[in-house]
Amino acid sequence: MPLTRRDFAKLGALGLAARLAPSLNAQTGERKTGYAVIGLGRIAGHFMGGIRNTTNSQVTALVSGHRDKAERIADQYGVPHSSIYSYEDFERIAENKAVDAVYVALPNSMHAEYTIRAAKAGKHVLCEKPMSTSVAEADAMIAACKAASVKLMIAYRCHYEPTNLKAVQLIREGAIGQVQAIESAFGFNIAAGEWRLNRKLAGGGPLFDVGIYSLNACRYLTGEEPEHISAFASVIDHDGRFKEVEENVAWTMKFPSGIVASCNTTYGAPMNGFFRVHGSKGTLEGAPAFNYDGLHLIGDFGGTHLDESNPARDPYQFQAQAEHFSHCVQNGLDPKTPGEEGLRDMQYITQIYRSAGISI
C-alpha cells in the first residue's frame, strides 16, 4: 500500500496537530508575544525569519555587542533602536513591556548566564540547544526560571516538525513492529577558526553541536530513556583544529526494552543527519532527518512502501517552535520541550564523555 504525497502531508499535519493542537487552534485572537533576540548570529537569523511567518510572535528587541549590525537588523524587523541592548546593560530589558520572552542564540557556554539573567528580569526563555555545558548549569537555569515564575523551553525544533512527528506516530502505532535497533549520525567538516572549536565557548565538540540531534532522536523515537551508555572519541586530523575539542564521537545506548542504538558524530567529514529504525515488521528512515529543510522519510513495513519528502522549507521549523512557545506563554501552559528535556540530554552527554575518557 504505497503512501502518496497527499497521504504524507495529511499524516504529517495530523501528527503536528496532535502535538500542537492548543497552539494552532487558539492563535486567532492571541496577541503577539514579543521576543528579545540575544545574539545575532546565523541561527538567530533563521529564528527571526520564522517569527516573521507567525501570527502570535514578533521580534521586539535585540541584544548584541555590535550596535551597527543590530541597527540594520532592527530596521528589517521594525524594532525601535531604543530597544537595542548591549550585553552590559542587558538588565534594562526588565523595563521593556514589549518584551515577554527572550531567545538565547549565544555560544553554548553563555546559555546559562543569559537564561538566568533573563529570568531575573522577569522574561520567559526560549534557549537554543544544547541547553548548557554542564548538568550543574542546566539545574541552575531550571531553578532560576522556577524562582521567577517564568517558562523555560529548549529549542528542540525537530519535536515540532511533521517528518519527525510522523516517524514517532508510525512507531507508536506499531507500523514497523517491535523496534530492535536504531542507527543515527550527524556531522560536518568544520572550518578552522569556528567558535565551536573553542572549548571555553562550546563546552565540547560535535556531540554538543550536532550529535545531540541523534541522542535526542533516539529518545523520542523509542519513548524511553537509556539505561546504559558506552562511547569512544578520537582525533584523526591533526591539522590544528582539534586542540581543544574532539573530532569524532561514537556511542551505543541500551534502553530498558532492550532496544540498542548506535550513534556517530563528527567535525571531520560531511555526515548527513539521519536515523534508521529497525523493527520486526520493517524499517523506517529519516534521511535527512535533522536539517532545516529537505527532510525525507523512507520506510518499508507490512506491505507499505513510504518514500516522501517534506516540502516545508527553512525557516518553517523555527516558525513552529516560536508559535508553540508563544502560545504557552500567553496561556500559562508548559512547553513540550521544557528545561528538564535539555537537562536529561546534558546528563547523557556527560555519561558519553565519561565513557569516552573525556572530562567536561
Q: In sequence order, which residues have a C-beta less than 8 Å from that of residue 139 and are 6 or more positions away? A: 343
DSSP state of 4: P
Query: Is there a contact between 50 and 322 (Cβ–Cβ < 8 Å)?
Result: yes
- Whether 143 contacts 132, CB under 8 Å: no
Contact 163, 297 (CB under 8 A): yes
Catalytic residues: 129, 213
CA separation, residue 335 to residues 108, 331, 360 (Å) = 21, 11, 28
* Element housing 316 (H / E): helix 316-331
Cβ neighbours for 348, distance < 8 A, ≥ 6 positions apart: 215, 226, 229, 253
Q: Tell me how far apart the alpha carbons of residues 330 and 245 are, in angstroms, rounded to a whole number.
A: 40
C-alpha cell at 54: 507567525
Neighbours of 285 (CB within 10 A): 19
- In contact, 149 and 120? CB cutoff 8 Å: no
Beta strands per DSSP E along the chain: 33-38, 57-63, 84-85, 101-104, 124-127, 152-154, 179-189, 228-234, 248-254, 260-266, 268-279, 282-286, 296-301, 304-309
Distances in whole angstroms, Cα of residue 277 to Cα of each of 33, 174, 182, 229: 38, 12, 5, 18
The CA distance from 80 to 340, in Å, is 35
Residue 101, beta-bridge partner list: 35, 124
